[in-house]
Structure 1
Amino acid sequence: MTVPAWRLRRASAVDSDALALVAGATFLEAFAGVLDGADIVAHVGRNSSAAAFARYLVEGGIATLAEVEPGAAPVGYTLLTEPDLPVVPKPGDIELKRIYALAPFHGTGLGAALIARALDDARKAGRGRVLLGVYGGNRRAHRFYEKHGFAVIGERRFLVGATWHDDRVYGRAV
């Protein structure tokens, strides 16, 4: 199967349904077999619903949506927000709260384009450092972030359902 071409565009609150669709699908892809299925459903319903994305965007979040051509089906996204991580914040910090692409688009350059866009968005917003949290067991993500200049600056415990997970907290100057 040939993977369709994709494009990036700024997302707004009217794109909340599309963002939520990709968020749920990619979270399921990433954590099926790692987390309990009921915990995945509850987590996505609470943290990645259309209402949650609308709230993030109304509160000043910056989102990018990746869509395929033709048809503009959503296949990936980023979301930058005010930081909510257990590290000492610096003035000008912003959190890359989410960056995901559907599995068929891994290895197509979409991830690199999404991270580059997020860093550019942070820079244009006058921010000096991008922070992010990532599941401690996700070695593929660790390699990706480190390849793009991020370094571990802390850790956090993250609860999904009834299970605690150890996450790495990364940071990178922009």
Structure 2
Amino acid sequence: MDGRLRRAGPADTAALSLVAGATFLQTFAGILEGADIVAHVARNSSAEAFARYIAAGATATLAEAAAGGAPIGYTLLTVPDLPVAPLDGDIELKRIYVLAGAHGSGLGPALMARAIEDARRAGHARMLLGVYGENHRARRFYEKQGFAVVGTRRFLVGATLHDDLIYGRAL
């Protein structure tokens, strides 16, 4: 992995927002409607949205390029907000994204390992996440990381509903 991981805090919300918007666009351009992507990112990936997550106790990890420290990936762990029967000790991996230029570098697995380590350290027993059902690349990644489908949901992106899978993994 050619970068470093560090805990993100309130001073990092602009960096989180930047990489969130860029990675969401890279992932879903040509799959989702452009207007829906713009609306979704504006609502859910603004610096203010990340400030709210962090203020509410979310754990964010920022991946930065080794040269120059530019943000290139991140994770966000939150209280679960998924339509599955909750278990004591659940945590949601609300976001895990890496810029396309860092794909294949080991950054994704490093971010996942850090998220799992953080969740275990905080006493959580199961990690949940939602993924767009047609995002086969992400689904393969999650399955390689030990996740299995535990449910489904309809997820609103902009003005369009999409079918998501909910994955879970014991920690």
The answer to whether TM tops 0.5 is yes
Residue 41 of structure 2 corresponds to 44
Percent identical: 70
Poorly superposed stretches of 4+, deviation over 3 Å? none
Is residue 38–residue 158 contact of structure 2 (8 Å, CA) maintained in 1? no
Summarize deviations over 1:94-130 as a string: whole Å, max 9, x none: 0000000000100000000000000000001111100
The match for 1:91 is 88
1:113 to 106, 110, 116: 110
Q: Which of 13, 17, 34 matches 2:14?
A: 17
Match for residue 100 of structure 1 among 97, 102, 111: 97
C-alpha contact (below 8 Å) 2:94/2:130 kept by paired residues: yes
Unaligned 5+ segments in structure 1 are none
CA distance in 2, matches of 1:113, 1:35: 28
Coordinate RMSD, CA, aligned: 0.9
**Across the two proteins, how many residue pairs are aligned to each other?**
171
Aligned residue for 2:27? 30
Secondary structure in 2 matching 1:119: helix
1:159 & 1:10 partners in 2: Cα distance?
A: 29
1:149 corresponds in structure 2 to 146
1:71 Cα deviation after fit? 1.3
2:166 is aligned to 169
Contact 2:14 2:47 survives alignment (8 Å): yes
Specify the code of the residue in structure 1 equivalent to 2:85: V
Unaligned runs of 5+ in 2: none
For 1:159 and 1:57, locate their aligned partners in 2 and report how far apart those are by CA, in whole Å: 23
Distance in 1 between residues matched to 2:167 and 2:144, nearest whole Å: 12
Correspondences of 1:69-80 after superposition (within 5 Å): 69-80=66-77
CA distance in 2, matches of 1:70, 1:128: 36
Aligned to 2:65: 68
